[in-house]
Chains A and B, each alone.
Chain A
Amino acid sequence: MSVPRATAAVSEQWVGGPFGDSRFKYFLIAPALFIMLSIALFPLINLLVVSFQGISIIAENKSFHGILNYQRLAGDSRMWKSLLHTVGLLLVALPIELIFGMAMALLFVDKMRGRQIFVALLVLPMVIAPIVAGATWRLMFDNQFGPINQIIGWFAGRDVTIVWLADSSFVWPAILATEVWHSTPFMFIILLAGLAGVDRSQIESAQIDGASAARIFFKIILPAIRPVLAVAILIRALDLFRIFDIIWALTRGGPGTVTETISTFTFVKAFEQFDTSFAAAVAITVVLILTAVTIYALRRIEIAR
């Protein structure tokens, strides 16, 4: 955080000083900024323009429609439901991933033979393409040929034929399981690194004083890993908010619109119904919400340092 004065002096000399070549720094950053601006900013401005027009599959109406699309959006219950689904999944999945990840990190934080191999294997689900993860679990949950019904059947002692992905009361648990499987390793590996940085001597002296495991966890470990925890939660929350691939592979938002999220809703509006201007308004709304939240969060938790 704090820049030592010596470093500040060096960088002053660095910029001006005997090698004064102040254009060099702009020259270095120009190509990257050009690519990012032309692929993100200009299309985004175009999106903003389109969101105030009346373009759809039936009309190529480029006249100014004011906030008509935004009014329609405000009254669109399907869009609000998809937003609700997204936030709901986030609020349920995130704590579960956090608790599982923490439990696993606590299990592996102490030295044990073969620990490296376990950790390497446990990280693998995370790097699988989300679309492949979705396809995998679609097969796992298959009511005929999937192993999940089979395994539940062993415990139930009878044939189980739950139609996981087409039954509105089972489809969310199925999505949740897939998401938790895919992302718990992320929490695990970050928390494991966080735990490794906790001062052992403090824990040991607390143990000698007879503190309970729960007390040590909440009073010593948790405060020590708070910054790590904040980063992990921020990254995962942003990922969960834009969830698309897993839902698309498992249900495509179905049955009906039961599992539609804000990303799949936008996709359907933009690329299946070609309700272009309306979809643009939805996208702009999402950007506004997320940018505000992200910039605030990034400044708060000092991801920079």
Chain B
Amino acid sequence: MTVAVRAAPGSSASLWQARRRSLKTIARYAAAVAITVIFLFPVFWIFMMAFKTPDEIFSRPPVWLPADFNLDTFKALVRDGDLGAIWTSLITAGVSTIFAMFFGTIAAYSLARFKTGGRNLAIGILSQRMIPPIVIVFPVFLAYVFLGWIDTFHGLIILYTAFNLPYVIWMMRGYIEDIPIELEHSALVDGWSRWQVLLRVVFPMARAGLFATTVFTFIFAWNDYIFALVLTRTEVVTFPVQVTSWFGQQFVFWARIGAMSMMGTLPIFFAVIVFQRYMVRGISLGAVKG
């Protein structure tokens, strides 16, 4: 067999092999394209809602492409102030991400370099993340009612910060452990303070990990529905809550749902594509280095 494989170019054996290989390649591409189309079709479908006219949305059989891409829905969102939901999401997710990243990273440094609390504390912190959101939000709701924090920005921001801290600590602990300790050591010998070492050696060295973890932390808060649903009313409306507010008893505002979904999803798409290299490590809680 092996002799036939090494036969001179042009011989019937290698021609047959080449044809077989190209057939295999074609089959692979066909499968790849088919799978991609299937997975992207629902995204296409909801995004198209933003551009369709009411007649096109409520037509039977369904219309796949709008006759013209009109921007009326987006204009209506701007006019009615519904875009505020994106702004609210940006504030709550953004501010909570900054807090979680800062406090989480310094805590992670403590765990990584001083082995504070040993392995049990680290696992205990991670296991907090595994508690179902409904279980977290229920007692928090009771506490917030008592404190008068329902429907406030700081209420939601504090909860997002607390919910994301275990993730940040866990991920950053891994990234910091990857940095050679000798650098920090010699900086200390040179007379730098602990804080200088942290801010001017550790943070820059863990840059990639910091960015990737920031992106995923932001996405968790940005995509959250249940915390916002329970803890907010009318003052603080994030984009996922806004989307579901258009499911009426009598009528569903699909055009608005489509437009809002698009604006809430596209920025995340781009962020993930930029940070694709760190994706696997980020979503596998650091277990798969990718």
Give A contacts to B, CB under 8 Å: 7, 10-11, 14-15, 19, 21, 24-26, 28-29, 31-33, 35-36, 38-40, 42-44, 46-47, 50, 104, 107-108, 112, 116, 118-133, 135-137, 139-140, 144-147, 150, 153, 181, 184-186, 189-190, 192-194, 208, 227-228, 231-232, 235, 238, 241-242, 244-245, 248-249, 262-263, 266-267, 270-271, 276, 279-280, 283, 286-287, 290-291, 294-295, 298-299, 303-304
Contacts and interface: CB of A to CB of B under 8 A. Distances in A.
A interface, by DSSP: helix, strand, loop or mixed? Answer: helix
B290 interface: yes
Contact of B134 (A10, A122, A130, A242): A242
A105 to B, nearest CB: 11
Given A35-B165, A122-B39, A303-B287, A135 B261 contact: yes
A186 B283 contact: yes
A283 B110 contact: no
Contact of B127 (A130, A244, A263, A295): A295
Given A19-B188, A32-B104, A36-B125, A118 B36 contact: yes
Contacts of B244: 131, 135, 248-249
B119 A193 contact: no
Interface stretch (B9-17, B40-48, B67-75, B76-84): B40-48
Given A136-B43, A190-B280, A26 B116 contact: yes
A270 B136 CA distance: 12
Contacts of A32: 103-104, 106-107, 165, 169
Contacts of B284: 190, 193, 228, 231-232, 235
A267 B134 contact: yes
A15 B28 CA distance: 55
Interface in B113-152: 113-117, 119, 122-123, 125-128, 130-136, 138-143
Nearest to B59: A145
A29 B272 contact: no
A127 B279 CA distance: 11
A43 B111 CA distance: 25
B209 interface: no
Contacts of A299: 123
B226 interface: yes
A273 B58 CA distance: 35
Contacts, number: 281
A244 B224 CA distance: 11
5 contacts: A7-B181, A31-B106, A40-B136, A129-B225, A227-B287
Contacts of B140: 39, 43
Given A35-B103, A112-B25, A303-B285, A28 B130 contact: no
B interface residue count range (under 10 / 10 to 19 / 20 to 34 / 35 or more): 35 or more
B32 A107 contact: yes
Contacts of A263: 132-134, 226
B132 A136 contact: no
Given A132-B240, A228-B287, A36 B165 contact: yes
A33 B107 contact: yes
B175 interface: no
Interface in B162-208: 162-163, 165-166, 169, 181-182, 185, 188, 194
Contacts of B107: 28-29, 31-33
B62 interface: yes
A189 to B, nearest CB: 6
Q: Which of B29, B230, B279 neighbours the largest number of chain A CB atoms within 10 Å of its CB?
A: B279
Interface string B241-274: 0011001000000100100010011001100110
A2 to B, nearest CB: 13
Contacts of A184: 39
B222 interface: yes
A95 B39 CA distance: 18
Nearest to B189: A18
Contact of B40 (A121, A271, A280): A121
B88 interface: no
Contacts of B60: 144-145
Closest CB pairs A-B (n = 7): A43-B139, A242-B132, A39-B162, A32-B107, A129-B223, A25-B114, A28-B110
A118 B28 CA distance: 12
B219 interface: yes
A231 B131 contact: no
Nearest to B125: A36
Nearest to A3: B115
B169 to A, nearest CB: 6
Q: Which of B32, B141, B158, B288 neighbours the largest number of chain A CB atoms within 10 Å of its CB?
A: B288
Contact of B225 (A10, A43, A131): A131
A203 to B, nearest CB: 16
B221 to A, nearest CB: 11
B276 A244 contact: no
B237 to A, nearest CB: 13
B159 interface: yes
Given A190-B288, A295-B123, A304-B123, A245 B226 contact: yes
B32 A145 contact: no
Contacts of B36: 118, 121-122
A43 B142 contact: yes
Given A29-B110, A135-B247, A231-B287, 19 more contacts: A11-B181, A26-B110, A31-B106, A32-B169, A36-B125, A43-B139, A116-B276, A118-B32, A118-B36, A122-B36, A129-B240, A145-B59, A147-B64, A245-B240, A249-B247, A283-B139, A294-B127, A298-B126, A303-B286
